[in-house]
Structure 1
Amino acid sequence: MRRFELVIFDWDGTLMNSVGRIVSSMQSAARQVARPVPAAEAVRNIVGLSLQEALPRLFGPLDEPAYQQLLQAYRQQYIHDDPTPTPLFAGVSQTLQQLAARGHLLAVATGKARAGLDRVLAETGFSQLFHASRGADEARSKPDPMMLEQLLAQLNVPLEQAVMVGDSCYDMEMAANLGMARIGVDWGVHDESVLNQFAPLAVISRMEALLELV
């Protein structure tokens, strides 16, 4: 018996092992525009936020030209220049297929912009698997719950029938801000001790474990 009708996933660090590429692309972008290069841990800690929120956290206050310069340099690195692989995590494809077969609605709430999200959905062949998705340029940045509110409204699912699955404190806090159930995964940017601060139903170490919780 399904516990939740709708399962909402974060993308980077939850479904796709892309954090390494985000880190190296951001560091390369900083060098390209002659900005101080942020530490890897600092970059990891902004994964999940929109770039509009993330870049000032990493580089301090930015006027519009400086922001656009960094943004374009980062996108060039991430999409075209950085060779760091971005595979799906183990068990992701099989688990998503099983959830869909069991009749769950599936959705994505991500810090990626729509163009980036559409690109990775097409690359992974998941475009038809998810019933709805929201990118960072379509709502306020996590941990504001606007993305989740939009998904619930679009799919006509009551709050108590939805669960958020993510690897970062921003995912957990976003769901907590709306009173939505949440499940953490420990293979992304934040470890179990950080995720547990937001009282998730569980923090899992294998994607397949999700099948027993939802």
Structure 2
Amino acid sequence: MHNYKLVIFDWDGTLMDSVDRIVFSMQATAVALSLAPPAYHQAKQIIGLSLPKAIATLFPEANEEQVQLLTAQYKHQYVEVNTTPTPLFDHALELLVNLKNEGKLLAVATGKARAGLQRVWLASDTEHFFHASRCADESISKPDPDMINSLLAELKIEKHQAVMIGDTSFDLEMAQSAGIDSIGVTYGVHDEEVLSKYQPKAIVGSLAQLHQLLLNRAVKG
């Protein structure tokens, strides 16, 4: 596990604890537009998809005008209205620091738009850890392998040298389709039963466990 040259992270639910904020913002979006809000579990399942694909999944009967309104309202709710904290998960910084100190290349493949990733990078002061990134508004949405394939090409990494780490079936299916290894984490959106369907090399329940797996030593503290 510690021989990978490139470690690709999902963001929401993998490095950042943002699941509640996403779900609550999506529910508030529906209420603001006089639509029936999705249940918590239902809204949670779209995390990782691009926003257009997420909205199409949750509101399949919405017409084009409603989709545009839903998109704009969700962005308003998430950025300007919702105040649910979105901290990094415990041991996220230690993991990033130590992976970079080991000479690993780090990347992000996220369902966020570029503006959203830049916003959370600024808030968490983590952009400097990553050598490359792919966002949902500049790539084909997960689980298509486009994000991974373009990262491998940019960083000149062979498939056997890379691993994808994520908390959703979309992350692991994307890795499987791209032909690279994956590791599932269960503290985000999907549980071990769902993640195991995509044949990850491992499934862990914390970033401390992931640190042990990738660096072959326990996280300090």
How far does residue 46 in structure 1 lie from its aligned partner after superposition? 0.4
Question: Which residue identity does 1:99 align to in structure 2?
Answer: L
Identity of counterpart residues, as a percentage? 49
Query: Following the alignment from structure 1 to structure 2, what is the Cα–Cα distance between the partners of residues 145 and 50?
Result: 13
How many residues matched?
214
Query: Following the alignment from structure 1 to structure 2, what is the Cα–Cα distance between the partners of residues 176 and 213?
Result: 20
Question: Which residue identity does 1:153 align to in structure 2?
Answer: A
Query: Following the alignment from structure 1 to structure 2, what is the Cα–Cα distance between the partners of residues 210 and 139?
Result: 27
Consecutive unaligned residues in structure 2, runs of 5 or more: 215-221
Query: Following the alignment from structure 2 to structure 1, what is the Cα–Cα distance between the partners of residues 144 and 5?
Result: 22
What are the superposed Cα offsets for residues 120-177 of structure 1, whole Å, 9 maximum, x if unpaired? 1111111111000010011111000000001111111111100000000000100011
What are the superposed Cα offsets for residues 75-96 of structure 1, whole Å, 9 maximum, x if unpaired? 1110010111111111101111
Query: Following the alignment from structure 2 to structure 1, what is the Cα–Cα distance between the partners of residues 4 and 76?
Result: 39
Alignment partner, residue 142 of structure 1: 142
Alignment partner, residue 64 of structure 1: 64
Question: Which residue identity does 2:44 align to in structure 1?
Answer: R
Query: Following the alignment from structure 1 to structure 2, what is the Cα–Cα distance between the partners of residues 88 and 212?
Result: 18
Alignment partner, residue 116 of structure 1: 116
Alignment partner, residue 15 of structure 1: 15
Query: Following the alignment from structure 2 to structure 1, what is the Cα–Cα distance between the partners of residues 140 and 183?
Result: 21
CA contact (8 A) 1:18 1:85 kept: yes
How far does residue 2 in structure 1 lie from its aligned partner after superposition? 4.0
Please give the root-mean-square deviation of Cα atoms over the aligned residues, in Å: 1.1
Consecutive unaligned residues in structure 1, runs of 5 or more: none
Alignment partner, residue 88 of structure 1: 88
Question: Which residue identity does 1:66 align to in structure 2?
Answer: Q
CA contact (8 A) 2:2 2:213 kept: no
Query: Following the alignment from structure 1 to structure 2, what is the Cα–Cα distance between the partners of residues 2 and 86?
Result: 29
- TM-score, with structure 2 as normaliser: 0.94
Alignment partner, residue 189 of structure 2: 189
Query: Following the alignment from structure 2 to structure 1, what is the Cα–Cα distance between the partners of residues 57 and 213?
Result: 35
Question: Which residue identity does 2:27 align to in structure 1?
Answer: Q
- TM-score, with structure 1 as normaliser: 0.97
How far does residue 107 in structure 1 lie from its aligned partner after superposition? 0.3
**Does 2:48 correspond to 1:48?**
yes
CA contact (8 A) 1:3 1:213 kept: no
Question: Which residue identity does 2:4 align to in structure 1?
Answer: F
- What SS class does the counterpart of residue 213 from structure 1 fall into? helix
How far does residue 3 in structure 1 lie from its aligned partner after superposition? 1.1
